[in-house]
Structure 1
Amino acid sequence: MLQLLAALQPLLVGVVLIWSARVKLLDRGAAEQARRSALGTLVGEERAVPAYRLLGGVELLLGIVLVLPPASVAEPVAAAGLAAGFVGYLWYARRAAPGSSCGCLSAKVTPVTGRSIGRAGLLVLAGLVGAAAGGVHWLPALLDGPVGAVGLLLAEAAVLVALSPEFDSAWLLPLRRLRVRLTSPLRGGSGVPLLASVQQLQLSGAYRQVAALLTSDVRDHWLEEPWRMVCYSARYQGRPATAVFAVPAEEMAPERVRVAVVDDSTGATLVSLAGERAYAA
């Protein structure tokens, strides 16, 4: 398995380099991307675009060499060296030009983050592991164990995509939207946000009539559809008590807020208030 993993690394790194070169050499926004990157700070604004194009040419050449036969140990070593250069550049960009665009795998403006640096570090590791294959080309290894080889490549590609902010719009944002649809954070599960319920009960007549009894902030809360129950510590005629408010969880209706003040020692209801009418025990 380790030998298979090592043999596949030149293919993985080569494809990543070719993709990156495509952005730098062919994308319409490449020149603007170069100007937004830290290259202007590093080599000067007038040389940023030529340097960006030159880097794309190096990536394309090395990527093709890695993918096509024959294979040699020097190829993944060179790729590891180039990726190490990426790590250094990205570190410099994050420190010297905060907010500058990465310019790595997409012409989309993407600030340099720890994920970008981690991705470059992973490519360094992939190049070094690939050198351990001893010059074995990836194609025979792929044909000898296609299922395992494809599985390894897909797993590594998934890690690279996860470390690439450029691709967040393709997978991370849809995943977040799906989670919102499935969990419905404004109802059920965690329920209506507590702050919304507290704001509603503070507008109610029930709250105004017992506010002088309250001695704490919100102490506990839970959902009992269609209500959110909100509890406060209170004192009633010198006795410790708990004020339990029932707040509509699915609508804004302060006039429907109810409250019961319960004696902490006996559990007896001391005051019950529904709407604007109060009943004392």
Structure 2
Amino acid sequence: MFQSLAALQSLLVGVVLIWSARVKLFDRHAAELAGNSALGRLLSAGRAVPAYRVLGGAELLLGVLLVLPPAPVAEPPAAAALAAGFVGFVGYLWYARRVAPAASCGCLSARATPVTGRGIAWAGLLLLAGLFGVAAGGTYWLPALAAAPAASTGLLLAEAALLVALSPEFDGYWLLPLRRIRARLTHPLRDGAGVPLLASVQQLQLSTAYRQVAALLTSDVREHWLEESWRMVCYSARYQGRPATAVFAVPAGEVAPDRVRVALVDDSTGATLVAGAGADRDQ
């Protein structure tokens, strides 16, 4: 039973690798994403794009080998080695945040997602899945799935759900809707509890970040949520003729307009156009 469950890890890791390779090789914004990622900031855009493509090719090749029969004994260790590479790469991006704090990972989607502890935990989970797969000893995943369909499906779904939960790229599909539902059910500002949105907006409008991008905004507050000690406030905007979202981070527990930060995110690609205390007024 243990060996059968271990064999399923080849399917899980293979699908994740193919999905990741799809972004790097076939997404029409892949070159732009590579250039805007921490890899682009550290290697230069000219070197980052070829490196991004080579990594995608390696992921695709290994992913196909893991998913399709036969399953040589060498494949799971190779998957674990690549997962270990993911851990090292994401860890390096974490260090690179000091050099390029607004740069993203570019791992699973074209959406810009700066590296956090969740990303490192995601890579660690993928590494554990690869190491668990080594115990299969080359057993192919399809017979293992057929031998215990209920247990196998349950394990795969649980692992996939955990990977999705640790992937900031997928937050828009499940985390934000859950936050909206929780807000509707709990009414967090009822009876005066919490920080009123109006107080955050007033502080936001006093900030340098807001004044520098105010001419680019095209809507009122579109979305907001609390994240640790910050209130995130979103507006629609246009930057260099492109539709974008202005995301402001406002201190929730203190009045400190000088700490307000803003990022302009391209609506079509998810790439961060500008990040920092403000932006140039370029329409």
TM range (shorter): 0.5 to 0.7
Match of 1:192 in 2: 192
Match of 1:102 in 2: 105
Match of 1:161 in 2: 164
Q: Could you tell me which of 165, 171, 175 is aligned with 1:172?
A: 175
| 2:8 matches 1:5 | no
Does structure 2 retain, via aligned residues, the 8 Å contact 1:102–1:111? yes
**Superposed, which structure 2 residues align to 1:121-270 within 5 Å?**
121-187=124-190, 191-193=191-193
What TM-score do the two structures reach when normalised by structure 1? 0.66
CA distance, structure 1, for counterparts of residue 126 and residue 17 of structure 2: 10
Ranked by relative contact order (alpha carbons within 8 Å, sequence separation 6 or more), the top structure is: 2
**Runs of 5+ unmatched residues, structure 2:** 197-283
Greater Cα radius of gyration, structure 1 or 2: 1
What TM-score do the two structures reach when normalised by structure 2? 0.65
Q: 1:194 to 1:164 in 2, by over 3 A?
A: closer
Q: 1:180 to 1:135 in 2, by over 3 A?
A: same
Q: Deviations over 1:166-210 (max 9, x none)?
A: 0001000000100011112233xxx332788xxxxxxxxxxxxxx
CA distance, structure 1, for counterparts of residue 161 and residue 45 of structure 2: 35
Match of 2:56 in 1: 56
SS in 2 for 1:112: coil
Deviation of the 1:43 alpha carbon: 3.3
SS in 1 for 2:170: helix
Q: 1:195 to 1:159 in 2, by over 3 A?
A: closer
Does structure 1 retain, via aligned residues, the 8 Å contact 2:189–2:195? no
Between the two proteins, the alignment pairs up a number of residues equal to 194
Does structure 2 retain, via aligned residues, the 8 Å contact 1:34–1:49? yes
Match of 1:20 in 2: 20
| 2:68 matches 1:68 | yes
Q: 1:127 to 1:174 in 2, by over 3 A?
A: same
* Root-mean-square deviation over aligned CA pairs: 1.7
CA distance, structure 1, for counterparts of residue 165 and residue 194 of structure 2: 33
**Runs of 5+ unmatched residues, structure 1:** 197-281
What one-letter code is carried by the residue in structure 1 that aligns with 2:20?
S
Deviation of the 1:73 alpha carbon: 2.1
What one-letter code is carried by the residue in structure 2 that aligns with 1:128?
L
Counting aligned pairs with the same residue, the percent is: 70
